[in-house]
Amino acid sequence: MNVDGKPYRSIWVNSDGWSVDIIDQTRLPHEFSVLNLQNLAQACAAIRDMAVRGAPLIGSTAAYGYYLALNTDGSDKNLATAYDELLQTRPTAVNLRWALDRIRGKVAALPAAQRAENAFAEAAAIAELDVETNRQIGLHGLKLIEQIAAQKADDEAVNILTHCNAGWLATVDWGTATAPIYMAHEAGIPLHVWVDETRPRNQGASLTAWELQHHAVPHTLIVDNAGGHLMQTGAVDLCLVGSDRTTRSGDVCNKIGTYLKALAAADNGIPFYVCLPSSTIDWTISDGLQQVPIEQRNGIEVSQVSGRLKNGEITSVSIVTEGTPVANPAFDVTPAKLVSGLITEAGIIDATESEIGRAFARDSSN
């Protein structure tokens, strides 16, 4: 999507034709800074230091990183060690392993000298697949927004609330929850997005608001506490969120606080849709509350807030006294009963085991 009026993806091949550029997302929203990756070490650092984040983008960065490693040294030994090094950057990222396996599968049987070239093509294919998946999510979600817009006066905006960043910065392009929003904006439908700041890491304030600002989509930042009030007072027509993991029965694990917004949407009769690529459906589990382990992150994310001082310096301030006990669960589970539907690359489906199984032709009893 656009940055300063110019279209970008979150990862792309440099104009030199071989090295890879990414946006240093740790500097956002205060600074737009591009990092050039030329070797394995730089790619690993980009993932480890969270210059890139979001499962799909991590996968694509690992794929290009693997290519860069093989570009330096296409040997069997490097094929093995680069795989391991990249895998260690974010051990729990499912897309990372998937992308590495896919590249290795394509190039392992080739002569060393041909591996880089083929890895490059495969990394590009992985990135394109992500873009296409999100584009499909966007097209399906667009229909939903069109239906809401049709019930409004011509110039009346459709008000959408989103939580965290399931935007193009978390993917290669379009995003998941933002794909329908960008599609509707391009289609000329008047829109306004309520952006939850999403404590503790403030991805809404830092990333989603920044994305929407640069793509000229009208939006307003709010604290996470405000969404319920806005829904009670008719200021929200639709909630769109992403998902880190969805069970085969439609329970949605997403950024902490998603569940509270789903409750408020249900209480006020507002549609609450979850946008996800089918690759994030976990077919092995059914009961999200019982079966999805919730990551407990470092309390420093709660007690310290990062931002920009008046002098431009980016730093952190402590909002509590030293020694204040802090808990920091990173995700919660929204039960399927609160989900109006899942917007996937295959269409909009009910958040039920039978519908999910049917849509993706999986035998969900396995």
Residue 27: burial class (beta carbons within 10 Å; 0-12, 13-18, 19+): middle
Binding to a second copy (CB under 8 A) within 18-57 occurs at 29-30
b/e sequence 141-162, b meaning 16+ C-beta within 10 Å:
bbebbeebbeeeeeeeebbbbb
Which one of 96-104, 117-125, 139-147, 204-212 is the stretch in contact with a second copy (CB under 8 A)? 204-212
- Residue 244 known to be catalytic: yes
Q: CA–CA separation, 98 vs 95, rounded Å?
A: 5
String marking each residue 152-181 x if it binds a second copy according to CB under 8 A: ------------------------------
**Which is closer to a second copy, CB of 111 or CB of 293?**
293
Q: Which one of 56, 175, 200, 341 is in contact with a second copy (CB under 8 A)?
A: 200
Residue 223 phi/psi, 5-degree rounding, is -75, 160
Does the protein bind a second copy through residue 289 (CB under 8 A)?
yes
Does the protein bind a second copy through residue 242 (CB under 8 A)?
no
Binding to a second copy (CB under 8 A) within 245-284 occurs at 255-257, 259-261, 263-264, 267
**Which is closer to a second copy, CB of 83 or CB of 259?**
259
The two structure tokens encoding residue 350: 């009910």
Which one of 96-104, 136-144, 201-209, 348-356 is the stretch in contact with a second copy (CB under 8 A)? 201-209
**Partners of 220 in the β-ladder:** 194
Which one of 99-107, 132-140, 296-304, 356-364 is the stretch in contact with a second copy (CB under 8 A)? 296-304
**Contact in structure between 257 and 196 (CB atoms under 8 Å):** yes
Q: Which one of 71, 78, 206, 352 is in contact with a second copy (CB under 8 A)?
A: 206
Q: CA–CA separation, 107 vs 104, rounded Å?
A: 5
Paired sense of beta strands 191-196 and 158-162, if any: parallel
Q: Which one of 73, 97, 228, 285 is in contact with a second copy (CB under 8 A)?
A: 228
Does the protein bind a second copy through residue 197 (CB under 8 A)?
yes
Q: Which one of 36, 223, 295, 298 is in contact with a second copy (CB under 8 A)?
A: 223
**Which is closer to a second copy, CB of 53 or CB of 261?**
261
Does the protein bind a second copy through residue 300 (CB under 8 A)?
no
The two structure tokens encoding residue 27: 């500097």
Does the protein bind a second copy through residue 225 (CB under 8 A)?
yes
**Contact in structure between 213 and 187 (CB atoms under 8 Å):** no
Residue 62 phi/psi, 5-degree rounding, is -65, -40
Does the protein bind a second copy through residue 308 (CB under 8 A)?
yes
Cα angle 193, 199, 202 (rounded to 5 degrees) comes to: 65
What contacts 24+ positions apart, CB below 8 Å, involve 29-33? 29/205, 29/206, 29/207, 29/209, 29/210, 30/308, 30/314, 31/314, 32/3, 32/4
Q: CA–CA separation, 240 vs 247, rounded Å?
A: 18
Which one of 63-71, 85-93, 95-103, 303-311 is the stretch in contact with a second copy (CB under 8 A)? 303-311
Q: Which of 130, 244, 251, 332 is catalytic?
A: 244
Binding to a second copy (CB under 8 A) within 136-155 occurs at none
- Annotated catalytic residues are 244
- Judged by the rule CB under 8 A, the positions of this chain that interact with a second copy are 29-30, 194, 197-200, 202, 205-206, 209-210, 213, 218-230, 232-233, 255-257, 259-261, 263-264, 267, 289, 294, 299, 302-309, 315-321, 323-329, 331-333
